[in-house]
Amino acid sequence: MQADTMRAPRARFSIQCLDAAGNERWTETVDNLVLNAGKTEIVDKFLRAASYTASWFLLLKGTGTIAAGDTLATHAGWTELQPYAGSNRPAITWGTTSAGSNTSTTVAVSINATATVAGAGICNVQNGTSGVLYNAADFATARNVVSGDTLNVTVTISVT
């Protein structure tokens, strides 16, 4: 009998940056690293039936490299950016899961400050550092955003 080789649900971030006039500035598609905290979250919530949070939020990360041991409170290799209106992380709304895959509705992030965005991630709190950082992804190239830009982000999470 062959063992199942299913890995933790992984996410693919598809990001489109539009300027204030609606013109495309750049696009990026990147796969994530499921962090140790994210893997623990899956086991605790699904198998142990520990208290579950159904809310998930998008975060943007600055330059620096992610590591498997990163958490929302401690990630020495990079900083979280908050160049979006309000300073709360935008919510992710998931669609219907089919064949082990689910794609979110597009999260429109209104940018209100100049920044260099180098990646994205998913966490379970809208602000602060007390939640779980499920995953993070480094862009192939750090990208600039300016006030007035909009990032349209779609997240596809799948088990393969």
Check residue 121 and give left, alpha or beta (phi > 0: left; psi -120 to 50: alpha): beta
Residue 107: other Cβ atoms inside 10 A = 20
Q: Report pTM.
A: 0.87
Rounded Cα–Cα distance for residues 61 and 92 (Å) = 16
pLDDT confidence band for 36 (50 / 70 / 90): confident
Contact 149, 142 (CB under 8 A): no
- Residue 83 pLDDT more than 70? yes
Lowest average pLDDT, out of 35-39, 55-59, 85-89, goes to: 85-89
Say how far apart CA 6 and CA 159 lie, in whole Å.
Answer: 7
